[in-house]
Amino acid sequence: MEELKEWHVVDLLKTTADFFAAKEVDEPRISAELLLGHVLSQSRIQLYLHHDRPVYQEELERFRGLCRQRLQGRPVQYITGEQYFYGLRFTVDERVLIPRPETELLVEHAFACLGLTERGGATEATLLDIGTGSGCIAVTMAKLCPSLKVVAVDCSLDALAVARLNATMHGVASRVTFVHADLFDGEFAARLPIVSYDLIVSNPPYIPRAEWEKLQREVRQYEPETALTPPDGKECYKALAALAPSLLVPGGKLCVELHADAAAAVREHMAVHGFKGITVLKDYSGLDRIMSGSIP
């Protein structure tokens, strides 16, 4: 009987990363590290600190099962069921969009819009998160600023179920009110538990339908299409710019994440509806990513 090969962390990582690369898996090394770390309950740094740790047969079989899913194109975050956002761990699955690093800029700017220059603070304010998805924005802001009153809205009951899980996990379920409502429904405002807000934030679907086929295969195959792409990419911005003035207190702000090519159009929509002091922030790649404006 052939003796089973003994694997150690460092060898298994290298072999798996090389195999993923040969199969043209996106981010082969990171994929291998995250999947093995999930099996061994270790961070990526811990894997290298314990690089000579043996990987036992049961662990190896679990790891191989996860690798087979990755080879089929399933995102690592859905395989492991988690994604870190703003330093916090969030539960994610195919019911919600995977939080991206760019959206952390939206949270950072949202805090600045509330007059907070760093995480936390005692500012009492009301926040409306439209299209909450996994709840990453609403939950993060509620956790880091306990005095915030947060309302998080989504048109997907499945997404709201995930967002509630994350609110519970981070101990803010009692301070975030989740609402099932559609931005394009004429009764949207009537469904909200608070009449007016100091800040409205949104990371809406903004990938134009024409760009859908250009996205990564794993995005098209696994992530919820309705969370990514309306027909021309700008419908949500138009609706937000039209609705927000009636929901904001005087001086209140709307803060949105942008498609890189949409800044001019979104600025025009906001200006038409009375927003002043409209600003655009760029992301780490130098692309227009965050826009905000206030109602006098």
Q: For residue 2, what pLDDT band results from cuts at 50, 70 and 90?
A: very low
Q: Is 174 exposed, middle or buried (0-12, 13-18, 19+ CB in 10 A)?
A: exposed
pLDDT band at 216 (very low <50, low <70, confident <90, very high): low
Q: Which amino acid is at 20?
A: F
Ordered by where they begin, the domains of the chain are: 7-72 (1.10.8.10), 94-294 (3.40.50.150)
pLDDT for 233-252, tens place per residue?
578 888 999 999 999 999 99
Predicted confidence band of residue 68 (pLDDT cuts 50, 70, 90):
very high
Rounded to an integer, what distance in angstroms lies between the CA atom of residue 259 and that of residue 80?
28
pLDDT in tens, 114-165: 886 555 554 689 999 999 999 999 999 999 998 899 999 999 999 999 999 9
Closest CA to 269 of 213, 202, 188: 202
Which pTM was predicted?
0.87
At 88, the amino acid letter reads L
Look up residue 158 and give its two tokens.
Answer: 């499945």
What confidence category does residue 170 fall into, taking pLDDT thresholds of 50, 70 and 90? Answer: very high
Query: Within a 13 Å sphere around the CA of 146, how many CA atoms are in the beta-carbon half?
Result: 2
